[in-house]
């Protein structure tokens, strides 16, 4: 397999939505907005800010409209609202502050039923409708295929199924296709193979990847995805979030860990690592806990300046 690392990747900051959605203690709307503003300060230019879903199902996102009303007016930042159906799309569009709708299709019937009360095909149909609504409203629409690398109910998911879904969503006008390892079971070889297949199917549309570090393979999967030609990565400051099917598990790949790895490897992300680490520390205080991100604890490298022993004892 030929490796094709780009010089530059695009990061999508998903902490305000995927990160916080899986945290038991909800953040106030004001704190969510501060997180979004701090992420922008650090360099984030595409942010999944909330989801427009039934507040009874996801109480953490019940303030979607209030979050949108408080978003900064920035032409250089793309704000994404995640939606599952027409109702959600209409709510997101009505805010007037969302730039892009994110639709989610699920790879298997059982997971699609559990997550959003529809079949896998039904979730593709819903995504097509969402993309059409986005375009009609002058927004863009993208789609993510949940459980691309494994399903909590059915186990292994046939790659042909993911490729067929990606082709259908691309034909519906999605601006990119995201492959999500929703439950954190992907391995780098699987990632390289599936990203390659999907990239070749939807070209010239880009492939985005979304990994959860549930079993510690998150960063390895990011690297494998880039080598296979993915150019957009979802990540969450602090690595916050969790996995609804693995209690106690770590969340999304941490933005600061991804930025550290890529910038050290000579791949530009547009995000400032030191600023991200500051956001991590602030967020840890707000959430009153230690966040999973490793670089948030250790700091970057090279170190800013280490005092010599002479100076220390002087």
The Cα–Cα gap between 71 and 48 comes to: 12
Minimum gap (Å) between residue 18 Cβ and Zn ion: 4
CA 253 to chain centre: 9
Residue of 157, 243, 261, 271 marked catalytic: 243
Question: Regarding beta strands 140-146 and 100-106, do their DSSP bridges make them parallel or antiparallel, or are they unpaired?
Answer: parallel
The Cα–Cα gap between 97 and 67 comes to: 10
Minimum gap (Å) between residue 269 Cβ and Zn ion: 19
Enumerate residues 235-294 that contact Zn ion by CB under 5 A: none
Is the Cβ–Cβ distance between 97 and 73 less than 8 Å? no
Give me the long-range contacts of 115-122 (CB less than 8 A, separation at least 24).
115/146, 116/84, 116/85, 120/161, 120/165
Q: In the complex with Zn ion, which residue's Cβ is closer, 17 or 38? A: 17
Q: In the complex with Zn ion, which residue's Cβ is closer, 13 or 18? A: 18
Binding mask 8-47 for Zn ion (x = CB under 5 A): ----------x-----------------------------
Indicate the Cα dihedral angle 92, 96, 99, 102, nearest 10°: 0
Minimum gap (Å) between residue 172 Cβ and Zn ion: 22
243 catalytic? Reply is: yes
Q: Which residue has the tokens 């939807």?
A: 202
Minimum gap (Å) between residue 22 Cβ and Zn ion: 8
Is the Cβ–Cβ distance between 148 and 180 less than 8 Å? yes
Q: In the complex with Zn ion, which residue's Cβ is closer, 18 or 63? A: 18
Strand partners, 104: 144
Tell me the helix, strand and coil percentages in the chain, rounded to 5. 45, 15, 40
Minimum gap (Å) between residue 65 Cβ and Zn ion: 22
Q: Is 48 in the site for Zn ion (CB under 5 A)?
A: no
Q: In the complex with Zn ion, which residue's Cβ is closer, 48 or 168? A: 48
Q: Which residue has the tokens 């199917």?
A: 201
Is residue 113 classed as helix, strand or coil in its secondary structure?
A: helix
Q: In the complex with Zn ion, which residue's Cβ is closer, 12 or 93? A: 12
| Interface contacts to Zn ion, rule CB under 5 A | 18
Which residues are catalytic, by number? 243
């Amino acid at each position: 397999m030929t490796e094709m690392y780009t010089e530059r990747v695009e990061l999508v900051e998903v902490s305000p939505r995927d990160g916080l959605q899986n945290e038991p203690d909800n953040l106030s709307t004001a704190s969510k907005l501060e997180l979004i503003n701090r992420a922008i300060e650090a360099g984030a230019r595409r942010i999944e800010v909330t989801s427009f879903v039934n507040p009874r199902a996801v109480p953490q996102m019940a303030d979607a409209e209030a979050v949108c009303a408080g978003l900064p007016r920035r032409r250089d930042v793309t704000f994404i609202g995640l939606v599952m159906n027409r109702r959600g799309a209409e709510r997101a569009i009505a805010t007037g502050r969302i730039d892009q709708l994110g639709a989610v299709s699920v790879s298997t019937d059982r997971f699609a039923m559990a997550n959003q009360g529809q079949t896998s095909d039904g979730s593709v149909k819903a995504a097509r409708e969402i993309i059409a609504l986005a375009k009609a409203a002058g927004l863009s629409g993208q789609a993510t295929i949940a459980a691309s690398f494994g399903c909590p109910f059915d186990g292994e998911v046939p790659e042909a199924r993911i490729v067929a879904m990606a082709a259908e969503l691309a034909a519906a006008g999605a601006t990119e296709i995201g492959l999500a390892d929703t439950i954190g079971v992907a391995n780098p070889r699987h990632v390289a193979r599936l990203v390659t297949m999907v990239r070749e199917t939807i070209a010239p549309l880009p492939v985005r990847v979304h990994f959860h570090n549930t079993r510690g393979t998150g960063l390895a999967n990011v690297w494998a995805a880039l080598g296979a030609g993915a150019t957009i990565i979802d990540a969450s400051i602090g690595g916050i979030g969790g996995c609804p099917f693995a209690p106690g598990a770590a969340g999304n790949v941490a933005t600061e860990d991804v930025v550290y790895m890529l910038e050290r490897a000579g791949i530009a992300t547009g995000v400032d690592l030191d600023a991200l680490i500051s956001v991590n520390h602030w967020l840890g205080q707000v959430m009153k806990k230690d966040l999973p991100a490793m670089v948030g604890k250790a700091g970057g490298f090279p170190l800013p300046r280490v005092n010599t022993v002479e100076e220390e004892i002087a």
